[in-house]
Copies of this chain bind each other. A is one copy, B any other.
Amino acid sequence: MMPSTFPPDSVGLVSPQVAHFAEPLALDCGRSLADYQLVYETYGTLNSASSNAVLICHALSGDHHVAGYYQESGSDKPGWWDNCIGPGKPLDTRHFFVVCCNNLGGCKGSTGPTSINPDTRKPYGPDFPIVTVKDWVHSQARLADRLGIRQWAAVIGGSLGGMQAMQWAITFPERLRHALVIAAAPRLSAQNIAFNEVARQAILTDPDFHHGHYYEFGVVPRRGLMIARMLGHITYLSDEGMRTKFGREMREGTPNFHFNFDSEFQVESYLRHQGRAFVDRFDANTYLLITKTLDYFDPAADFAEDLSAAFAQTQARFLVVSFTTDWRFAPARSREIVRALVRAGRETSYAEVPSEHGHDTFLMPIPLYHDILRGYLARIAQETGDAA
């Protein structure tokens, strides 16, 4: 590591590690994975009591590269939550040992649709089983075992990551002391499912999809995945945020009135760029799979639709955070979670943070948001007895 090339509050140079698991993992769908691997990163140092470990759970398009840089020059982009994790940052790596793995079914190194199916010697593609949030939590628990972590100081996640944090508290009540559930929902609404369905149809109807076997044809369903990502982005931003960022600004100032549909408004260029860039870094089968993981998530379903009953067995303390202009998982959805937790007698903190940036705020260094995380995590560090 060459500290001089990184900001002083960066975790610096990082590299992914791989954990192989040979014992079969039984999945919610009834199938099991005989053999799989998880790619993960860690930052900070696990203390002697193994009591300072924090699990970060990533969202739909996230991965295990949460903080730090892959190149000594620091010229590449840092991990997706670098603004929050490092020495002196809200999740302070001087106190915490931070772990994040690419989820099963992902496309960044953990076993997923792009991996070779040992039975066929070809990529799994659509033969990869649909995995659920519960499955992820079980696979993450095995990673914890491997790392010698019996109990997490905290499990933290935004969006789909927050759903994993909730599921951890329900499935393994004794294995975490805190759950930080950010910009999440107790389950998808019909509208959320509808957006996922349009994204799926865009991919499924792309002639380059080949029923999910596109790897064998040397193509990827670029068009469909691009549409899916553009649509996703609309739901990640707020109407207000878009107004501030793009307004109705035209790139050329005036309409071109052409039927070629070159992008004219700034917001069009932005979405096209986002869509195209995504195709180069993400797998369409993984995208399909994870939209289903989202649709299926419904912890109350096992408890006669009583979310409070689902939380009754939890032991963690909770921090729930929402953002005022988030309309993908609106504050009202977080308040549902909070009501159910309080009714279940859980110790629950709730913060609704003003922001014009919509759902994406959970990734942004908004001062009030980061102060809230800093304050809550400092208390955990103190409890953990590892404050510097």
| Chain A to chain B contacts (Cβ below 8 Å), 19 pairs | A128-B259, A130-B259, A190-B239, A190-B245, A190-B246, A190-B266, A190-B267, A191-B243, A193-B265, A194-B233, A197-B271, A200-B261, A201-B226, A201-B230, A202-B202, A227-B227, A248-B298, A264-B295, A327-B327
Q: Say whether A271 contacts B205, CB under 8 Å.
A: no
Chain A, range 266-284, C-beta contacts under 8 Å to B: 266-268, 271-272, 275
Nearest-neighbour CB distance to chain B for A25, whole angstroms, equals 15
* A residues neighboring B (CB under 8 Å): 28-30, 126-130, 187-191, 193-195, 197-198, 200-202, 204-207, 212, 223, 226-227, 230-231, 233-234, 237, 239, 242-243, 245-248, 255, 257-261, 263-268, 271-272, 275, 285, 288-289, 292, 295-296, 298, 327
Please measure, in the bound complex, the distance between the C-alpha atom of A49 and the C-alpha atom of B349, giving whole angstroms: 70
Which chain B positions have C-beta within 8 A of A197?
A: 230, 263, 265, 267-268, 271-272
Residue of B nearest to A295 (CB): B265
Is there an interface contact between B288 and A261, defined as CB atoms closer than 8 Å? yes
Contacts of A205 in B (CB 8 A): 223, 226-227
- List B contacts of A30 (CB < 8 A): 257
Q: Find the B residue at minimum CB distance from A245.
A: B190
A258-B130 in contact given A190-B246, A191-B234, A194-B271 (Cβ < 8 Å) = yes
- Contact assessment for B187 and A248 in the assembled complex, using a CB-CB cutoff below 8 Å: yes
- Cβ–Cβ < 8 Å partners of A230 in chain B: 194, 197-198, 201
Q: Of all chain B residues, which has the CB nearest A192?
A: B239
Query: Which of chain B's residues have a CB closer than 8 A to the CB of A126?
Result: 259-260
Contact present for B259 and A193 (CB under 8 Å) = no
